[in-house]
Amino acid sequence: MNITVIGCGRWGTFLAWYLCSIGNNVKIYGRSESRTFRSLRETGKNEYLTLSPEIAFTDDLGQALEFGDKTVISIGTQNYPQLVQSIKSSGVSLKNKEIILCMKGIIKSGGKRISEATAEVLGNGQRVAVWVGPGHVEDFIRGIPNCMLICSEDQQYAKELCAQFGSQLIRFYYSHDMIGCEIGAASKNVMGIAAGMLDGMGYSSLKGALMARGPREIARLTKAMGGDERSIFGLCHIGDYEATLFSEHSHNRKFGEAFIKGEEYDKLAEGVETVRSILYLGKKYGVELPICNAVNSVIHEKKDASKVFTELFLREQKSEF
């Protein structure tokens, strides 16, 4: 298959590497002004991996879209509205094309899920799926396998992608619950920041309680939005907790720890903006989100972390279920 990968960050570059490794023709699109893209095109590698010389590069979005039967997108979530408008303006027909969204975030303007933003701008003339779940580039390139999830409202399409993209390195499961998968994948980054904050305060033992209670509040939100709350206990959310709450490679966990310690952290932590969107959705659907609210209070309201988490811990008694 001919596959275009839009995005040349850590995950986008891995996706190009992986899709090429399982026998596809891959072309990476990046903006000409991007230093990351220029470096990748010139050297064929980044700090994580070396790409096959068979992978092509282009800074022409129209050419990239024309090339790919499938377009795999992995960029910063908050940059997606601009990209999808550029895709629409490219003049390339997307009829019968496939778009696979590999991002874990909620757009801060209006609390939109990525697939919602896609449909609003591009309409419904293409097949759309999301590819989420656990796994770090650093582990995959060492040959350490993991399980991931492909979700589409068209479940047969999700099954097809699982068969096309699966390998001994990644075993795929499928789902049709777009709301649950997208909300679960985005909100696990908020939980990752909370875990990092606990690490930074020396309260790592509370991460077990975080693992137990975090999915409960996100499941309530998912159900209120019309999704399947069971999705939150699958690969899109709790299945990604090891990679997000504990791993040394987790950007969100490392951000949370650095924030508590007053240290700079220059990598993208999607949960920083996502927490605002999740709280917006919680208010819209009337769902209490105490852990997300605590993270937001520390990051965006500059409240004292020790006090915020102590108050969270000392909330009124409630039944576990």
> Residue 281: what are its φ and ψ, rounded to 5°?
-70, -40
Q: What angle do CA 192, 196, 199 make, to 5 degrees?
A: 140
The single residue of 188, 207, 223, 254 carrying the catalytic annotation is: 188
Reading the chain (321 residues) residue by residue, the pLDDT tens digits are 999 999 999 999 999 999 999 999 999 999 999 999 999 999 999 999 999 999 999 999 999 999 989 999 999 999 999 999 999 999 898 888 899 999 999 998 889 999 999 999 998 878 999 999 999 999 999 999 999 999 999 999 999 999 999 999 999 999 999 999 999 999 999 999 999 999 999 999 999 999 999 999 999 999 999 999 999 999 999 999 999 999 999 999 999 999 999 999 999 899 999 999 999 999 999 999 999 999 999 999 999 999 998 888 887 777 777
- 44-to-12, 56, 57, 184 alpha-carbon distances in Å: 14, 10, 10, 33
pLDDT given for residue 271 in this prediction: 95
Contact 215, 237 (CB under 8 A): yes
- 73-to-16, 47, 105, 302 alpha-carbon distances in Å: 10, 20, 13, 33
Which residue segments constitute the domains of the chain, with CATH numbers given?
2-176 (3.40.50.720), 180-313 (1.10.1040.10)
188 carries an active-site annotation: yes
pLDDT given for residue 23 in this prediction: 97
Cα-Cα-Cα-Cα torsion 80, 98, 171, 79, nearest 10 degrees, comes to: 0
What's the whole-model pTM score? 0.94
